[in-house]
Amino acid sequence: MPAGACPLYRDATQAVPGEGPRRARVMLVGEQPGDKEDVAGRPFVGPAGKLLDRALADAGIPRDATFVTNAVKHFKFAPRGKRRLHKKPNAYEIERCRWWNEQERAIVQPEVIVALGATAARSLLGRVVTITKLRAETLQLADGTRLVVTIHPSALLRTQDEADRRAAHAAFVRDLKAVARLAFKHAA
C-alpha cells in the first residue's frame, strides 16, 4: 500500500479487493465492504449483495459477467456490543483508495462503470455529487469510459414501506437495464 494510505486497515479483518472477469463489460463500484464482506474477503456477499444479485438478474446482467468492487477497500465501522455497525467513509479515506480503483479499472477496462451510491460516485468523479441529479444520465469519464450513477442496493434495505421498496427496486432495475443496453449493445 502506498505511503499515506488510509488507516482503516487497522480495524478491518482484511482488505476486500474487487472480483470478476478481467475484461468484464460492466464494473459495479459500491461504497465499502460491509461486515459480511469484511469477514468473507469478497465484495457484495451480504444483504445488499443479495439485493444487487436480484436486481442484476432482473435486468438481464449475469453477476458473474460483472466486476464488483468498492470505492473503499476496508470496512469502516463502530462497535456496538458484539455487532459492527457501518460508518460512512470520509473524503480522506475515499481519496486514499482511489489508486486501487484506478488499478482495477486499468486491468478490467470496462465498457460501463456503475457508481452504486454517492460515495462511489464521489470516488469516480472526484467531487461530491447528488444521486438524484445524476441518476439516469450517462456520463463520460476523462478516459472515455461511460459512467452511470444510481442508488446503492443498501438503500433498498432501509426502505420500510413494501410498496416503496418495490418501486425503488423497479427503478434500480431500470437503471441496470440501461447499463445492459450500453455495455452489451455491440456484443455478439
Give the residue among 168, 155, 156, 12 at the shortest CA–CA distance from 89.
12
Q: What is the pLDDT of residue 161?
A: 95
d(CA 88, CA 3): 23
Residues of the chain with pLDDT under 50: 1-3, 187-188
Q: What is the pLDDT of residue 3?
A: 45
Write down all domains in the chain, each with its CATH number in brackets.
7-183 (3.40.470.10)
The model's pTM is 0.92
Q: What is the pLDDT of residue 131?
A: 95
All cell numbers assigned to 106: 486499468
Q: What is the pLDDT of residue 188?
A: 38
Characterize the bridge pairing of strands 146-150 and 138-140: antiparallel
All cell numbers assigned to 103: 488499478
Q: What is the pLDDT of residue 97?
A: 86
Q: What is the pLDDT of residue 84?
A: 77
Q: What is the pLDDT of residue 78?
A: 80
